[in-house]
Amino acid sequence: MSLSTSFSSGTSRVRVHCAPPQTSSFRPRKRVALAYARIKRPVEERFNILCERNVSENQLEELCVERWSKWESGKCKLYWEWQVDQQVYIVKGSVRVVPNGCDDDGAWFYAGDLVRYPKWLEASLYFQGPYEERYRFLAYGDD
């Protein structure tokens, strides 16, 4: 995109030419907006679901996971609304979590994952087969 103007004063003619800067940091606004629109953040990031993969035995002992409540399921779909933060350690199986408004774009969690679901999250849970988890509800400010 450039702008050219010419004008004359007396016998001399002056031509002015303006062009965008030639630096590599220059980007037209429309292109930048389109680039940001194409970037899709992961479900975990958009809905503040925290997941730690392959948790060590030492960390499980420190958290006293064996004392947490136990929940088991077979293959099924379940809709859930979290009223408080919940921390889950997946002992066996896998689950796909699809928060409301994600249009089947979900997050997968597997055995060995330590997952923290935030308060007020609403999601459909898809269990793929035999599933077992240990869970606890967290008070405000608990880590």
Q: Does domain 43-138 have CATH number 2.60.120.10?
A: yes
Instruction: Pick the more confident residue, 101 or 136.
Output: 136
Q: Give yes or no for residue 92 having a pLDDT over 80.
A: yes
User: What is the residue extent of each domain of the chain?
Assistant: 3-38, 43-138
Cα torsion 39, 40, 42, 46: sign: positive
Cβ-based neighbours of 103, under 8 Å, separated by 6 or more: none
Q: What is the pLDDT of residue 62?
A: 96
Model pTM? 0.70
Model confidence at 14: pLDDT above 70: no
**pLDDT band per the 50, 70, 90 thresholds, residue 2:** very low
Residue 17 has pLDDT above 90, yes or no: no
